[in-house]
Amino acid sequence: MFSFRGCGRWVAASLTKQHPPSARLSGENAAPGTPRFDVVVVGGGHAGAEAAAAAARCGSRTLLLTHRADAIGQMSCNPSFGGIGKGHLMREVDALDGLCCRICDQSGVHYKVLNRRKGPAVWGLRAQIDRKLYKQNMQKEILNTPLLTVQEGAVEDLILTEPEPEHTGKCRVHGVVLVDGSTVFAESVILTTGTFLRGVMVIGLEMHPAGRLGDQPSIGLAQTLERLGFVVGRLKTGTPPRIAKESINFSILNKQTPDNPPTPFSFIHETVWIKPEDQLPCYLTHTNPRVDEIVLQNLHLNSHVKETTRGPRYCPSIESKVLRFPNRLHQVWLEPEGLDSGLIYPQGLSVTLPAELQEKMITCIRGLEKAKMVQPGYGVQYDYLDPRQITPSLETHLVQRLFFAGQINGTTGYEEAAAQGVIAGINASLRVRRQPPFIISRTEGYIGVLIDDLTTLGTNEPYRMFTSRAEFRLSLRPDNADSRLTFRGYKEAGCVSQQRYERASWMKSSLEEGISVLKSIEFSSSKWKKLIPEASISVSKSLPLRALDVLKYEEVDMEVLAKAIPEPLKKYTECRELAKRLKIEDWGCE
């Protein structure tokens, strides 16, 4: 598989507006000129981009179909990636050579690892991202992926054919029909339609059919899926208004500074693109009783809040926070949208009041007294398909070779979408090659937890990842995602580059070697005390201590050990990541 990449034989993907390159097509059983691909991905959001790139990495000729090619990689809600649980998912996507970590390392403006003091199993990598840069970098990556073609167009229907007798399912998907009536044949189809299935935008009492601000919803496709017998549910989500940066009085607000140095997301990056001192700060302010008042007095103008459709409990609108937890001050984080962006994203202020009331509410918040609202917040209601209708490989039970990934399965979040995208892309490709599916279990990764929860329990609210969902949290750490998944991805799916595979192999053998060396160094506790006076080693213990036991002390790390015993330990501190991982590997063991 890997020889395909970088050998230059394949034409780099090209952006074609409804004119796919006919040179690649075979004419058998098809109308002349009908394009034919191994994998067609419908949707260019975070799930779609990862799915298309993963299928192409696995060696499938892949077509990414999207409403607007210039919206690929668009971050349509918050300007940040990662967090606790979500950061875990991203590291696993990266371990499978997915895109989001690498793009974040090239686009972040404020990197911060959360939960530093609560143990390495729950560290949460997070960054504020420059929206524009992310989109640019993602589009560059997608358009330069070998075997991957991008085409603009809205999908209206699926082409179905006889099922394969050796699999379950009542029919098999064989391609898609676009709104203009043209068709594309495909061996596998992945739907990553996000909030576009019968999407409706809500501000106040106004409702507009739309998938995202300024984009048309998919109605025909939703009808097709319902006709096929898929059980459809409805969910809602929302996004806050955007505020003009220069209209905010930051000087009276709490400032949150980023990490210095920033920790990169990707296993293959040593550093991120931005200079630590060039990073942007975030600011914290709070709601107050005046905000509660405006919300409560205007509930009759707010149809989104009254609807029975389930919204996320953990990403609540300001209305539901006020209703469920009255008389409290709620946090509002003011986050930059980008280096040269004039917009601020008020995280925590998701709202669907009529626009003029939104502005009124904003201006009674400290620091925002003179704030100018550039774009109102709005709610989105959309169809999702009960994810119990898909297998752990994300293929549907009903229609063979049809895969779902992202919000269509009832999840929320860029990271959850990206994680499903990678798995759907890999499996759509493996299915074409008639190879067994690539399934991650709950014991192997957060991706496994996510997909297992979805496919066995379903969900009735937008599903988001938390570390509390993982039973094996102590082993499923952000630091070791590569040792859990990279080798499987390389051998079973073929979705991992040679470079990454070699890096992960080196890391794995260095860790094993390091631990056996640490086991072999043994001194009396009094000698250790002399070597490392700053460690609280009890000298009353008569048994000799290994270097591995000493490393368990909170105040001891590999640097300290190597200073005390340069030979043979010094070489394990040359790679900072290796030194850190040795400490972590040793930390939780008894």
Partner 1 sequence: MWRGLWTLVTRAAHGPRSPRSCMRQASGAPAPGSGATIFALSSGQGRCGIAVIRTSGPASGHALRSLTAPRDVPPPRSACLRLLSDPRTGEPLDRALVLWFPGPQSFTGEDCAEFHVHGGPAVVSGVLQALGSVPGLRPAEAGEFTRRAFAHGKLSLTEVEGLADLIHAETEAQRRQALRQLDGELGHLCRSWAETLTKALAHVEAYIDFGEDDNLEEGVLERADSEVRELEVALGAHLRDARRGQRLRSGAHVVVAGPPNAGKSSLVNLLSRKPVSIVSPEPGTTRDVLETPVDLAGFPALLSDTAGLREGVGPVEQEGVRRARERLEQADLILAVLDASDLASPYSCNFLDTVVTPAGAQSPNGSSQRLLLVLNKSDLLLPGGPEPSPDVPPHLLLSCLTGEGLDGLLEALRKELAEVCGDPATGPPLLTRARHQHHLQSCLDALGLYKQAKDLALAAEALRVARGHLTRLTGGGGTEEILDLIFRDFCVGK
Please give the residue ranges that form the binding site for partner 1 (CB under 8 A).
Answer: 78, 84-85, 114-115, 117-122, 124, 312-316, 321, 324-325, 328-331, 333, 347-348, 397, 457, 466-469, 471, 473-474, 554, 587-588
Q: In this complex, which beta carbon is closest to partner 1, that of residue 179 or of residue 474?
A: 474
CA proximity to 492, closest of 420, 442, 437, 448: 437
Q: Shortest Cβ distance from residue 58 to partner 1 (Å)?
A: 29
Q: Shortest Cβ distance from residue 124 to partner 1 (Å)?
A: 7
Report the alpha-carbon distance of residue 458 to residue 292 in Å, rounded: 34
Report the residue count for the chain. 590
Residues facing 185 on adjacent strands? 36, 175
As a whole number of angstroms, the longest Cα–Cα distance in the chain is 85
Q: Shortest Cβ distance from residue 453 to partner 1 (Å)?
A: 8
Q: In this complex, which beta carbon is closest to partner 1, that of residue 57 or of residue 112?
A: 112
Q: In this complex, which beta carbon is closest to partner 1, that of residue 59 or of residue 87?
A: 87
Report the alpha-carbon distance of residue 201 to residue 195 in Å, rounded: 10
Which spans in 58-107 are helix H? Answer: 86-95, 100-107
Q: Shortest Cβ distance from residue 261 to partner 1 (Å)?
A: 20
Q: Shortest Cβ distance from residue 488 to partner 1 (Å)?
A: 25
Hey, what's the torsion of the CAs at 44, 46, 49, 54, to 10 degrees? -150
Burial tier of 472 (Cβ tally within 10 Å: 0-12, 13-18, 19+): middle
Q: In this complex, which beta carbon is closest to partner 1, that of residue 209 or of residue 326?
A: 326
Q: In this complex, which beta carbon is closest to partner 1, that of residue 37 or of residue 123?
A: 123
Report the alpha-carbon distance of residue 404 to residue 570 in Å, rounded: 49
CA proximity to 335, closest of 36, 108, 526: 108
- Helices 131-143 + 46-57 axis angle, to 10: 30
Q: Are 379 and 352 in contact (CB under 8 A)?
A: yes
Q: Shortest Cβ distance from residue 5 to partner 1 (Å)?
A: 38
Residues facing 66 on adjacent strands? 152
CB atoms within 10 A of CB 3: 9
Q: In this complex, which beta carbon is closest to partner 1, that of residue 92 or of residue 97?
A: 92
Q: Shortest Cβ distance from residue 84 to partner 1 (Å)?
A: 5
Q: In this complex, which beta carbon is closest to partner 1, that of residue 84 or of residue 493?
A: 84
Cα separations (Å) of 254 from 290, 329, 512, 542? 21, 15, 44, 52
Identity of the amino acid at 564 = A
Identity of the amino acid at 200 = V
Report the alpha-carbon distance of residue 143 to residue 10 in Å, rounded: 13
Helix (H, G, I), strand (E, B) or coil at 203: strand
Q: Shortest Cβ distance from residue 114 to partner 1 (Å)?
A: 4
Q: In this complex, which beta carbon is closest to partner 1, that of residue 153 or of residue 316?
A: 316
Question: For the chain, how big is the Rg over CA atoms in Å?
Answer: 26
Residues 177, 181, 183: CA angle, nearest 5 degrees: 40
DSSP state of 171: E
Q: Are 517 and 569 in contact (CB under 8 A)?
A: yes
Q: In this complex, which beta carbon is closest to partner 1, that of residue 193 or of residue 352?
A: 352
Q: Shortest Cβ distance from residue 351 to partner 1 (Å)?
A: 13
Q: In this complex, which beta carbon is closest to partner 1, that of residue 12 or of residue 329?
A: 329
CA proximity to 379, closest of 566, 511, 203: 203
Q: How many helices (H) and strands (E) does the chain have?
A: 18, 24
Cα separations (Å) of 280 from 101, 259, 264? 19, 11, 16
Q: In this complex, which beta carbon is closest to partner 1, that of residue 57 or of residue 321?
A: 321
Q: In this complex, which beta carbon is closest to partner 1, that of residue 89 or of residue 176?
A: 89
Contacts of 511 (CB under 8 A, 6+ apart): 483, 578, 581, 582, 585
Q: Shortest Cβ distance from residue 286 to partner 1 (Å)?
A: 8
Q: In this complex, which beta carbon is closest to partner 1, that of residue 58 or of residue 235?
A: 235
Identity of the amino acid at 499 = Q
Q: Shortest Cβ distance from residue 368 to partner 1 (Å)?
A: 16
Q: Shortest Cβ distance from residue 437 to partner 1 (Å)?
A: 18
Q: Shortest Cβ distance from residue 207 to partner 1 (Å)?
A: 25
